[in-house]
Amino acid sequence: MKSAKNSSLKNGARVAIIGGGPAGSFFGIFASKLAKDLGRRLDITIYERKTFVNQGAAGCNMCAGVVSESLVQLLALEGINLPSSVVQSSIESYYFHTQNGNVQIKSSRLQQRGIATIYRGGGPKGSIEKGIQSFDDFLLHKAVECGAKVEHVIVDEIRMEGDKPVLYSRGKMLQDCDLLVGASGVKASTGEMYEKLGTGYKAPSTIKAMQSEIELGNNWISSQFAHSIHIFLLHIPGIKFVSIIPKGDFITISILGKEPDAGYTKVFLNHPEMRKMLPPGFKIPEKFCHCFPKINVGAARKPFAHRLVFVGDASSARLYKDGIGSSYITSKAAAHTALLYGIGEEDFKEHYLPACETLNRDNLFGQFLFHVNDLISTISLLSRGYFKIIQQEQKNLQKDAHYSDILWDMFTGSRFYKNIFIRALSPWPIIRSLLASSTSYLRKVFFSHQ
Amino acid sequence: MPEEGLLGRIYKDDEIIVKEGMQSRTMYVVQSGKVKIVKSDGDKEIILAVLNEGDIFGEMSLFDASPRSATVKAIGEARVLAIEHECLLKRITMDPTLAFRIIKQMSQRIRNLNSKLSTAMKTITQVNNKLLQLNSENVTFRDRETKSSHVIDNIAQIQKELHKCNELFIQNESL
């Protein structure tokens, strides 16, 4: 396939985006805005099967639904302010439940509710809550405001005809385009469709997570989970960690573990630590809205070709966190490459690939940090010392919040993992941590002899 | 409006968000309501601008690290999102286009200031010319008194126009 270096998207160029989730909408928004600044007009069509207004899986893009602190701020700077109809709960703290006790963590940097919990569709099946606007629907409308069109059609075949990609749906030609943007996440069927093009693209490796929506009522959630995301690190067999994300009348239970199934939610809801947070007499419903979304845990191979670029989960994503933030980064980098440099393979390699590689390299630091975190939580001496330091830091955040900020950034996805890694290597906090662990050990020895 | 879904921090009417002279590098985006940028002049408060939903403020300190040049207060209840400077500066080095919107807003402010400066300069020239004209004419004390009162009326009229002009700026400009 030939390269077309320095042939950027010209006035009137046709762009087809497959997938109307955040990655597709972000590409539509940033390409339209930059084209306008450059005095060009693009013909952008977003192909999205769903409408994001239906309840349950039919209208949902299946994810835990947290927009990180840094992304909320970046979007506000881009002029995309999330309205209260989209934000189900504004988060100001994380609450960690561990075997050594519980601790609430707030950021030492900004005293505000800066993290948004959102629904990716029209809300859980059976929800009677009114006025829910899906985050994906909100962003898709922003893309339309910027000039993109939306077609609710399934694209099931792509052919390269001459120099251009041509899209088909059930054998019927939809359009040809100057640039095709693959933004359809990590679905196996679309991954295969792209791989069949023979450009060298290979879909990213994934793991399965589990999300369940449990209705507890707004009043109960406000009193028990108010403006906090709860993380449970309880060593339940098969479960790495559980996050509880408050959203109006519901909580989203997000479970990361080995081959999760519906039984995991029931095991977790019956755990004594979780039972304390449920209403008296709470019975686990027979049926509840749940799904098993795939999470990108490895980068796609060669996420670009001549007149073709992949963004969001179909390309590179941050490990375990901030998937929507990764979509923002990759989509913006791809849109700017296409408009400022070109749509040839070499252009994407030179100007788009570095953005993906930054995420991929950063995930190596992330893997290391999560391993260390797992290790700390399994060695009770270390975890007790670590827990004590964080408790002390939270009493006076302005004085010293080194470890609290590390934990905050790791679980909120507010900072790149490399940045967290460098801060974690700072010698004085390591000495402090070892001292705290030793003190904890001596106390244990001393009290055990009393 | 449900409180659960409100991002940022809520400020009550007249509550100070940013204080003149304070050292801080945080930038802000108005999420809802209005805020005013004010300069204190003795007991008086001069309103420099009123900002609405989506507007940015505090961007000067982000780049030059100087103390705050003015005070920002809420008008009625206002909700404001703080932007952390260290994270933003790092992101700008990765993606310089992030600074475009800030630069666009700063350019708009310079245009508005130029326009205000031009109006003020015109007024000063007019007053100066009147005074020179008065001085060059050989008039009696009584005449001078009459002429002076005429000049004072003119100045008062110009002041009124300036005041109206300023109010129009505050109401209409979207800084």
Chain B nearest-CA distance from A140, in A, is 19
Q: Provide the pLDDT for residue B135.
A: 78
Cα distance from A93 to chain B (closest Cα, Å)?
A: 13
Mean pLDDT for all residues in chain B:
83
pLDDT at B1: 46
**A residues 204-223 near B, CB within 8 Å?**
218, 222
CB–CB of A113 and B2 under 8 A? no
Q: Do A72 and B7 touch (CB under 8 A)?
A: yes
Confidence of residue B174 (pLDDT cuts 50, 70, 90): very low
Q: Taking residues B77-102, report their average pLDDT.
A: 89
Nearest to B54 among A70, A79, A246 (CB): A79
Distance from CA of A222 to the nearest CA of B (A): 8
B140-157 pLDDT per residue, tens: 555 556 666 776 676 677
> What is the per-residue pLDDT for B172?
53
Q: Determine, for residues A90 and B6 on separate chains, whether the beta-carbon distance falls below 8 Å.
A: yes
**Per-residue pLDDT tens digits for B40-75:** 888 888 898 899 999 999 988 888 888 998 999 999
Label residue B175 by pLDDT band (50, 70, 90).
very low
**Chain B nearest C-alpha distance from A174 (Å):** 34
Distance in angstroms (rounded) separating the CA atoms of residues A135 and A113 = 18
pLDDT of residue B151: 64
Query: Which positions in chain A touch B86 (Cβ < 8 Å)?
Result: 109
Q: What is the pTM of this model?
A: 0.86
Residues of chain A with pLDDT under 70: 1-6, 59, 128-130, 428-430, 433-434, 436-437, 440-441, 444-450
Measure the CA–CA gap between A121 and A86, rounded to whole angstroms: 10
B84 contacts A87? CB cut-off 8 A: no
Of residues B1, B7, B98, nearest to A116 (C-beta)? B7
What is the amino acid identity at position A136? D
**In this model, does residue B171 exceed pLDDT 90?**
no
pLDDT at A316: 94
